[in-house]
Amino acid sequence: MVEAGCKRCVVVWALHERQRQWAVELPLRASIQDALEAARRLAGDEGVPWETAETGIYGEPHPRDSVPRDGDRIELYRPLPVDPREGRRARVQKLRRAQRR
C-alpha cells in the first residue's frame, strides 16, 4: 500500500540478454532523477549507467527533472550501436553495389 503523499514508479534498464527493474516509492513531487537515485540504492553495483543514460517514461524521452506520475515506468536507454539512418544508408549502398555486379 502506498502512503498518502507518495507514489510508486518502476525504474527499468534493459540489455539484450536481460531486463532489470526496481520498484521505488517516492514523494509526489519527486523527479526522474530522484527515482533513479532510489533505484540505484536498491540495485547496488549492477553496471547501470545511472549518470549518463538517456531517460524516458513509457518510451517517450523525458529529461531527468521531469516529474513522473504514480505508476509510471521510468526507462534508462542504451545508446544505439549504430545510428538507424546511417545503418539504413549502409544497407542501401551495399544492395546497390550488389545489383551492379
Please give the CATH architecture assigned to the domain spanning 6-100: Roll (3.10)
Domain positions in the chain: 6-100
Query: What confidence tens digit (pLDDT) does each residue in 10-38 have?
Result: 999 988 888 999 999 999 999 999 999 99
Query: Would you say the pTM of this structure is higher than 0.85?
Result: no
Q: Confirm if 3 and 25 have CB atoms less than 8 A apart.
A: yes
Query: What confidence tens digit (pLDDT) does each residue in 26-75 have?
Result: 999 999 999 999 999 999 877 899 999 999 999 999 999 999 999 999 99
For residues 50 and 33, give the distance between their C-alpha atoms in angstroms, rounded to a whole number: 9
Task: Tell whether the torsion through CA atoms of 13, 19, 20 and 24 is positive or negative.
Answer: positive
